[in-house]
Amino acid sequence: MKKILLAASEGNPFIKTGGLADVVGALPKYLNSKKFDVCVMLPKYLCISSSDRKKMSHVTELYADMPRGREYIGIDKAKLEGITYYFIDNEHYFAGDVPYNQIFEDVNKFAFYSRAVLASLKELNYCPDIIHCHDWQAALIPVFLKEFYGKDPFFENTKTVMTIHNQKFQGRWRIDDIENCRDLPADCRYKAMEAYKETNFLKAGILYADRVTTVSETYAEEIKFPEGGEGLEGVMREVSGKLSGIVNGIDYEEYNPMTDSMLAEPFGLRNITKKKKNKEMLQKELGLKQDSKAMLLGIVSRLTEQKGFDLVNYIMEEMLCTLNVQVAVLGTGEDRFQNSFRYFQDKYQGQLSATIGYSEELAHKIYGGADAFLMPSQFEPCGLSQLISMRYGTVPIVRETGGLKDTVEAYNEIWQTGTGFSFANYDAKEMLKIIGYAYDVFQNHPKEWRLMMKRCMKEDHSWQNSAKKYENLYQELVG
Ligand code: ADP
Ligand code: GLC
């Protein structure tokens, strides 16, 4: 039995801001429990809901010497669906209403977290065969492991995997200002950890980890070039021998249209017509016109530039004025996008609804009730929303980038194949054209549209396949 520890800054169901939490919450459940004993270690944020905090019990605590002095590390534990979750407690670092604050606080916070993970493992006498680190927040674990515990027999056989969920976020700050890294050797701080005269947590993790993965095969290629590399393309090319892409799955228990209690009317392949009821109820709940003929476009997303909202803004008026399209948006993020959706909602009452906020329930209702799902990302390491929408027979309209390219097959009207609509260039007019094409199929070729919905629902994007690829990777590392 090999011991695997997942280290990350968020994980379902305890704390989530995006797809990372979905991955960390689902992957452990799908790894073969006869071969792998999997634990997860997360920060115990004060913003974790009180009902989730009640599931935790205190295990032990310790104090560790760090550059700022002796730091408290509490260790809590919870067991969920057979998986053990450990929580690193420190009310100073993990305070606040949200997991991430200002980047300056965050770099020290997650340097602390990474140190605390290793110190806790020793305290718990729990030695993983592999520490699987996710994103820049956990990227210093391979660094501290080598620099501080390199000669410690306890961790002698521990290997590390670094998974990049989004190369844009790297954990960068002025080198000399990051207190919790100050005791690392100068050679490490000013060379391996340095990029463009700043500390770069992600770069350090990539260099120090035994293996590096990212969340789709296309993205694993894109990050080797300036367009997708976010400045680290040279590093990615240097480590290409240990880099691979493993596409994410989605949790088929959580996202199951046949058993989803958040839907007005559960449905499946055999009674796909019941999806209509979900559209009707969604229109009603959101104050959209009760019009079964309108094509209802769903958007559930972080409202950031990455997700292509400048394209959406650009064509919104033209789309709403020329096509019988309705839009249901759910998201939070940059003010400019929140405000533009509020503006459109005011101007196009009954045709566009914007819910600025975070709601699991409404997200499920949109995935279940919309006809199509719009995701025109500038870049997309994997993307889960298009996978969820396909599972609910909601046809994705995407840009061909990263994981969107790997998971959505463009509609071919001659062969009657495909699971969505896609466009290549980051261009608003090109996007509108493809929305227009989808609209035409939806309105004028309902039989073909319905076949496409069925193809979407028949796709297998469960974790089963992807978990096997992680298992192979773990096995390659530790036999
Ligand atoms: P990213 O991780 O880049 O934000 P993904 O597509 O990988 O994008 O994952 C996003 C996840 O977060 C999906 O599960 C999506 O449903 C969920 N999500 C995003 N915004 C919201 C929101 N405002 N309310 C509820 N769920 C959301
Ligand atoms: C990141 C990416 C997204 C990916 C998710 C989970 O947030 O932006 O594309 O699906 O991580 O890996």
Beta strand 395-399 pairing with 372-375 = parallel
pLDDT of residue 10: 98
What is the dihedral sign for C-alpha 36, 214, 161, 199?
Answer: negative
For residues 17 and 98, the answer to whether their CB atoms sit within 8 Å is: yes
Tell me: the pLDDT tens digits for 429-466? 999 999 999 999 999 999 999 999 999 999 999 999 99
Q: Is 385 in the pocket of ligand 1 (CB under 6 A)?
A: yes
Residue 214 has pLDDT above 90, yes or no: yes
422 Cβ closer than 6 Å to some ligand 1 atom: no
The set of residues, in sequence order, having a beta carbon less than 8 Å from that of 241 and lying 6+ positions away, is none
Strands 198-200, 194-195: pairing kind: antiparallel
Find residue 161's DSSP bridge partners: 132, 211
Q: Say if residue 102's pLDDT is above 90.
A: no
Place of tokens 């929580």: 87
Q: How confident is the model at residue 264 (pLDDT cuts 50, 70, 90)?
A: very high
The Å distance, Cα 301 to ligand 1 centre, comes to: 5
As a whole-number percent, the residues of the chain with pLDDT over 90 amount to: 98
Check if 381 has its Cβ closer than 6 Å to any atom of ligand 1: no
**Confidence (pLDDT) at 90:** 98
Dmax (CA) of the chain = 69
* Mean pLDDT computed over every residue of the chain: 97
CA 472 to chain centre: 22
Prediction pTM value: 0.96
User: Cα 474 to chain center, whole Å?
Assistant: 21
The neighbouring-strand residues paired with 60 are 75
Q: Report the separation in Å between the CA atom of 39 and the middle of ligand 2, taken as the mean of its atom positions.
A: 21
Q: Which ligand is nearest to the CA of 303?
A: 1
Phi, psi of 159 (to 5 degrees): -105, 165
Asked if 147 and 23 count as a contact pair (C-beta separation under 8 A), the reply is no
Rounded to whole angstroms, how far apart are CA atoms 477 and 89? 31
3 state SS of 162: strand
* pLDDT beyond 90 at 334: yes
Per-residue pLDDT tens over the stretch 103-157? 888 999 999 999 999 999 999 999 999 999 999 999 999 999 999 999 999 999 9
* Ligand 2 centroid, distance to 403 Cα (angstroms): 9
Query: 247 CB less than 6 Å from ligand 1?
Result: no
> Given the CA of residue 20, which atom of ligand 1 is nearest to it?
2
Find the mean pLDDT for residues 322-336. Answer: 97
Q: For residue 104, what pLDDT is reported?
A: 83
CA of 471 to the centre of ligand 1 (A): 26
Q: Which atom of ligand 2 is nearest to the CA of 377?
A: 9
Q: How far is the CA of 65 from the centre of ligand 2 (A)?
A: 34
Residue 377 has pLDDT above 90, yes or no: yes
> At 300, is the secondary structure helix, strand, or coil?
strand
Task: Judge contact between 283 and 289, C-beta under 8 A.
Answer: yes
17 lines ligand 1 (CB under 6 A): no
pLDDT reported for residue 256: 98
How is residue 459 written in tokens? 């796709």
Positive or negative, the Cα torsion across 372, 373, 377, 379?
A: negative
Distances (CA, A) of 299 to 46, 190, 331, 341: 30, 43, 8, 11
What is the C-alpha to C-alpha distance for residues 453 and 441, in angstroms, rounded to an integer? 12
pLDDT tens, 288-297? Answer: 999 999 999 9
Say whether pLDDT at 287 is over 90. yes
Kindly give the distance from the C-alpha atom of residue 65 to the centroid of ligand 1, in angstroms, as a whole number.
38
- Dist CA 437 CA 55 (whole Å): 49
Give me Rg for the CA atoms of the chain. Answer: 23
**Does ligand 1 come within 6 angstroms of the Cβ of 330?**
yes
Where residue 393 falls (left for φ over 0; alpha for ψ -120 to 50; beta otherwise) is left
Q: Please tell me the residue having the least CA distance from ligand 2 atom 12.
A: 165
Beta strands 130-134 and 243-245: pairing type? unpaired
- pLDDT value of residue 479: 80
* Cα angle 58, 86, 466; round to 5: 160
* Residue whose CA is at the smallest distance from ligand 2 atom 10: 383
User: Which protein residue's CA is at the shortest distance from atom 11 of ligand 2?
Assistant: 165
Strand partners, 7: 41, 133
Which helix (H) or strand (E) is 173 found in, with range?
strand 172-174
Go through 179-193 and write b for each residue having 16 or more CB atoms within 10 A of its CB, e for each that does not. ebbeebeeebbeebb
Among the atoms of ligand 1, which is closest to the Cα of residue 16?
Answer: 12
Q: Is the CB of 308 under 6 A from ligand 1?
A: no
Q: What is the pLDDT of residue 20?
A: 97
Q: For residue 415, how far is its CA from the centre of ligand 1 (angstroms)?
A: 33
Strand 69-80: give its sheet, edge to edge: 57-66, 69-80, 83-89, 36-43, 2-7, 130-134, 159-164, 211-214, 243-245
How far apart CA 167 and CA 234 sit, in angstroms, is: 13
Look-up: residue for tokens 């009310």?
A: 91
Interval 351-366: pLDDT, tens: 999 999 999 999 999 9
